[in-house]
Structure 1
Amino acid sequence: MFGNYLIGLREGLEASLVVCILVAYLVKTERRDALRPVWLGIAIACGISLAFGAMLEFGTQELTFEAQELLGGTLSIVSVGLVTWMVFWMKRTARHLKADLHGKLDTALAMGTGALVATAFLAVGREGLETALFVWASVRASGEGSSAPLIGVLLGIATAIALGYLFYRGTLKINLAKFFRWTGAMLVVVAAGVLAYGVHDLQEARFLGGLGDKAFDISQTIPPDSWYGTLLKGVFNFQPDPTVLQLSVWLLYLVPVLTLFLLDRGRPAAAPQVRPADSDSTPAG
């Protein structure tokens, strides 16, 4: 559940920051007339993201078992690729996000209502679609048949919305550099588990071989249905009996990606503080 809470919090907070930046800029520049099309674009983005998630969940139920596993494994790998790109991108560009969005918003204001709707939709929609895909893949990996992963995601998103509101009101500050660094590192660990699970799906679909080649089996020591087995699966997507291919892929992804992420400090600069009510030197003002 914690891993899915982290996904909801991290992805939801990115979307909340984008909304804070857009709304705060329009209010500060006395362009409240442009708020309606911006909110419309945000609403459309949220609606499409929810529809995409529903399509993933319910649209695959009529497929055969092999087809479900093939699709699930493929989308799990795609989602890991997107999340990996996202954590590196956000770590490097978080301090420049505000200026970039302000520039796009200025251009949209000059072009008219349609451009404002499109700008807000594109700014939030990318986060929404990415979140829907990764959440779906992670929920499949960490808790099939259980509502706990979905509850964790919803709690994370709710927390992100609450934090976004506090950022906008200027009552809360956060060090974005540290936040995205440590949540990004934890997401890499979660993504490694999703990737291993995706490989297992492809093995069950008979797309990849080696399903019977177990790297180890400690099911007697850590039973999957025990409280600690459930905890390890919920947080790290831990599996007590992975295949050799699963373990190999997990290690080949986790070790180099986590090392690169922690060593990559980006451009040296003062860590930004989120406080939209302050001057333009803050990322969400």
Structure 2
Amino acid sequence: MLGAFLIGLREGLEAALVVGILVSYLTKLGRRDVLHRLWIGVGLAIALSLGIGALLTFGSYALTTQGQELIGGLLSLAAVALVTWMIFWMQRAARNLKKTLEGELDRALAQGSLWGIVIVGFVSVTREGIETALLLWSMVESAGSAPQAIVGALLGLTISVLLGWAIARGMVRLNLSTFFTWTGALLIVVAAGVLAYGLHDLQEAGVVPGPFSALATLDPATGAVGVGLEGFPFGYAFDVSTIIAPGGTLATLLQATVGFMPEMTWIQVIAWALYLAVVFSIFFSRMTAGRPRPSTEPSPSPAQGAS
């Protein structure tokens, strides 16, 4: 529920801010007559996102078990790629987001096309909608708690819409840079967990080597799949299922937030650690690069200032 709430809050607020900018600009231009076209685009984007979520949820039932694992693993990797790209895109585009959106509206209005405004509204919301659908589906698949995830996502989306409305009205002041920095960092951790579970699915499908394939690393003493150093590289890195029960409250909470599973393979652990190390390094280096550097020039003395 916590991970789903975070996703709904961040992605919903991004979409709400984008729509707020577009509505405010059209109102400022005195073109409220085309607002209905913008809302048509937003509605189509929401419908597409819900359709993708429904297709992922119900379409997988027609597949074989191996097919479900394969599709689930590939879609989890796609969700991680999309989330990672969107985090860096927002980090780069946030400063000029308003100018970019207003420019898109100016071009659509200049062309005088009915579909121009619809497309601007559709594209502006579709990015967050598809990302939310993919990531939530991957989280539900990994944690296996659909009702809690849906409640968390709806709660986050509701709060994000109210926040977006309050910000647009000037009723709430929110440091968006700080908000997106912290939620971006938390989303990176969530995405690392989705990556680990996606690789687990692909290992179960036999696409990636692991304990479920003929390449499994066996413990020479017992002949079973190795655990720890005896399981490197295609066995289990650890197995604490006797301490943390799989499917229990603690296991579900850890899996939905940081991607921890009581039993994880070496490939899962290595991929999880590498993703966090690489993505966090880039994330924080870009964040630092975007901050203004203090001036190194000496300030003029009073005598110099008076001369």
What TM-score comes out, normalization by structure 1 length? 0.90
Q: Is the 8 A contact 1:192 1:253 kept in 2?
A: yes
Q: Out of 268, 275, 280, which is 2:291 matched to?
A: 268
- Of the structure 1 ranges 159-168 and 260-269, higher mean CA displacement relative to structure 2 is found in 260-269
Counterpart position of 1:48: 48
Q: Out of 241, 261, 273, which is 1:239 matched to?
A: 261
- Describe the superposition over 1:173-194 as per-residue Cα deviations: whole angstroms up to 9, x where unpaired: 1111111111001000000000
Q: Is the 8 A contact 2:193 2:256 kept in 1?
A: no
Q: CA deviation at 1:145?
A: 4.9
- Aligned partner of 1:131: which letter? T
**For structure 2, which runs of at least 5 residues remain unmatched after alignment?**
212-224, 226-234, 294-307
CA distance in 1: counterparts of 2:52 and 2:79, whole angstroms: 14
Identity %: 49
Counterpart position of 2:250: 228
Q: CA deviation at 1:207?
A: 0.9
- Of the structure 1 ranges 228-237 and 6-15, higher mean CA displacement relative to structure 2 is found in 228-237
Q: Which has the larger radius of gyration?
A: 2
Q: Out of 209, 212, 216, which is 2:238 matched to?
A: 216
- Aligned partner of 2:136: which letter? V
- Aligned partner of 2:284: which letter? L
Q: Given the alignment of the two structures, is residue 114 of structure 1 paired with residue 121 of structure 2, yes or no?
A: no
Q: CA deviation at 1:228?
A: 2.7
Answer 1 or 2: higher relative contact order, Cα 8 Å, separation at least 6. Answer: 1
- Aligned partner of 2:3: which letter? G
- Describe the superposition over 1:164-212 as per-residue Cα deviations: whole angstroms up to 9, x where unpaired: 1111211011111111111001000000000000000001111112125
Q: Is the 8 A contact 2:189 2:257 kept in 1?
A: no
Q: CA deviation at 1:157?
A: 1.0
- Aligned partner of 1:22: which letter? L
Q: Given the alignment of the two structures, is residue 138 of structure 1 paired with residue 139 of structure 2, yes or no?
A: yes
- Describe the superposition over 1:141-179 as per-residue Cα deviations: whole angstroms up to 9, x where unpaired: 22x254111211111111111111111211011111111
Q: Given the alignment of the two structures, is residue 153 of structure 1 paired with residue 153 of structure 2, yes or no?
A: yes
Q: Number of residue pairs matched? A: 269
Counterpart position of 1:103: 103
> What is the correspondence of 1:1-285 to structure 2 with a 5 Å cutoff?
1-112=1-112, 113-142=114-143, 144-211=144-211, 212=225, 213-265=235-287, 266-268=289-291
- Of the structure 1 ranges 29-38 and 62-71, higher mean CA displacement relative to structure 2 is found in 29-38
Q: Is the 8 A contact 2:193 2:257 kept in 1?
A: no
What TM-score comes out, normalization by structure 2 length? 0.84
1:242 match: secondary structure: strand
Counterpart position of 2:305: none
Q: Is the 8 A contact 1:185 1:262 kept in 2?
A: no
1:215 match: secondary structure: strand
**For structure 1, which runs of at least 5 residues remain unmatched after alignment?**
271-285
- Aligned partner of 1:230: which letter? T
